[in-house]
Structure 1
Amino acid sequence: MPDNTPAPATNRSVDRVRALGRELTEVHQDLRTELRRVRIEFDRYLAGDEVPPMRLRTHCTAFCAALTRHHTSEDTTAFPALGNQFPELAPVLAELSADHHLVADILRRLQQLLAEVGPDNADTAKRELDGLAAILESHFQWEERRLVEAFDALEIAASTGEQLFGVTVCAPAED
């Protein structure tokens, strides 16, 4: 990371900026949790539990929409802000954006499969879901390793975590 020391700021603005890296990891954790829930529900469906296909589609659609919002916000807001301040990150940002397109294709296939989920395509849908989980975990880990520090140093005016990352971090669920 270059020595692009931000201009002096108040403690409050420094704390807010430094929180962006943590907020990114929290957004990723929320998405991981939701994907885990979709996968558990799908496994229950495959095991013969009475999980209605409509519930699978609804849960998956909500997850897919949140993930799409997150990636779209990164591509249109967060990554350009990082690229402007840290041009040396351009190859990383380009690769992460390419991952977003790959994930979008998987989401489309998965949603098509779940629109008519049944015995004929359940195994294919499960493979797509498992592939999505593996790709996302790798993507999230790499993005966090490469960008958290940059987000913590990012000089931004009025952008919020929601504008940069597309979703608001959820409060922990109570059991």
Structure 2
Amino acid sequence: MPGMTDLSTLPLDDLDLDESARPKAPKVPAATDRHRRQGRQLAAIHRHYLMEMAQIGAVLARIEAGDAPPKDLKQIVLSLDMAENFRAFGNLCGHECRMLKIHHDIEGADMFPRIDAAGGGMFREVVAKLLSEHEVVHELIIRLGRAAEALVEDPSEAKFAHAAATYRKLEEIVRSHFGYEETELVEAIGYYLGSV
């Protein structure tokens, strides 16, 4: 479990969400279709993050397809709309990774505790699992930042391969985490919070 292990010491391949250990959220019997629609607003927020991540994936795919060698990564990234973000935060995710962390911080400090309290503790296990998954996402954001900085300093194939692998792991984890959160909390968000 991430809370019991120093994630920074784990190899990239060992960072996972242990999807088989995900508890199911209880149904909210009084939830209506309107509540579920309100709860699905979270999915719209998540789609924004995934679209931004897709821009990074497109850059990596271009390089891997041979459209641009790894030494040109900096120029490719700086030619994107995300250029200012890259310069400001020194990593491929830039502003979006920072915003993803803020999004998770808000969920952990406000949204999840409110759902758990309003639900009388019946969402405690789901909330605990989601928070432990946030730890994995945050570790991957840190690693991606470091890999991107290393790549800019030394645009070698090995550094590119490491940055690409870290990005892909982050995207895989974020997609899985978002799907779990959206599925398990759709009723609770709409019913207990009214919207996101």
| Aligned residue number for residue 188 of structure 2 | 150
> What is the CA distance between 1:43 and its match in structure 2?
2.3
Q: Distance in 2 between matches of 1:77 and 1:155?
A: 11
> What is the CA distance between 1:155 and its match in structure 2?
4.5
Q: Distance in 1 between matches of 2:42 and 2:57?
A: 23
1:115–1:80: structure 2 CA closer, same or farther, 3 Å change rule? same
Query: Is 2:47 the counterpart of 1:29?
Result: yes
Question: Where does the alignment leave 5 or more consecutive residues of structure 1 unmatched?
Answer: 7-14, 162-175
| Aligned residue number for residue 138 of structure 2 | 104
Counterpart amino acid of 1:126? A
> What is the CA distance between 1:60 and its match in structure 2?
1.4
User: For each residue in 1:66-111, what CA deviation from the matched residue of structure 2 results, as whole angstroms up to 9, or x when unmatched?
Assistant: 2111111100111011011121111111010011011101100100
Query: Is 2:122 the counterpart of 1:88?
Result: yes
1:126-137 alignment, distance < 5 Å = 126-137=164-175
Identity of aligned residues (%): 23
Contact 2:56 2:93 survives alignment (8 Å) = yes
Superposed CA RMSD in Å reads: 2.5
| Aligned residue number for residue 44 of structure 1 | 62
Q: Distance in 1 between matches of 2:31 and 2:46?
A: 27
Q: Distance in 2 between matches of 1:48 and 1:122?
A: 14
> What is the CA distance between 1:48 and its match in structure 2?
4.6
Contact 2:147 2:163 survives alignment (8 Å) = yes
Secondary structure of the 1:88 match is coil
Q: Distance in 2 between matches of 1:139 and 1:31?
A: 12
Question: Where does the alignment leave 5 or more consecutive residues of structure 2 unmatched?
Answer: 1-26, 87-91
Contact 2:39 2:190 survives alignment (8 Å) = yes
Stretches of 4+ aligned residues off by more than 6 angstroms? none
Secondary structure of the 2:132 match is helix
TM-score w.r.t. structure 1 length? 0.75
Q: How many residues are treated as equivalent by the alignment?
A: 150
Match of 1:77 among 110, 131, 137: 110
Q: Distance in 2 between matches of 1:48 and 1:78?
A: 43
User: For each residue in 1:37-73, what CA deviation from the matched residue of structure 2 results, as whole angstroms up to 9, or x when unmatched?
Assistant: 1111222244352542663771511121121111111
TM-score w.r.t. structure 2 length? 0.68
Query: Is 2:105 the counterpart of 1:67?
Result: no
Counterpart amino acid of 1:154? Y
Q: Distance in 2 between matches of 1:71 and 1:81?
A: 14
User: For each residue in 1:105-126, what CA deviation from the matched residue of structure 2 results, as whole angstroms up to 9, or x when unmatched?
Assistant: 1100100110121213110111
> What is the CA distance between 1:130 and its match in structure 2?
0.7
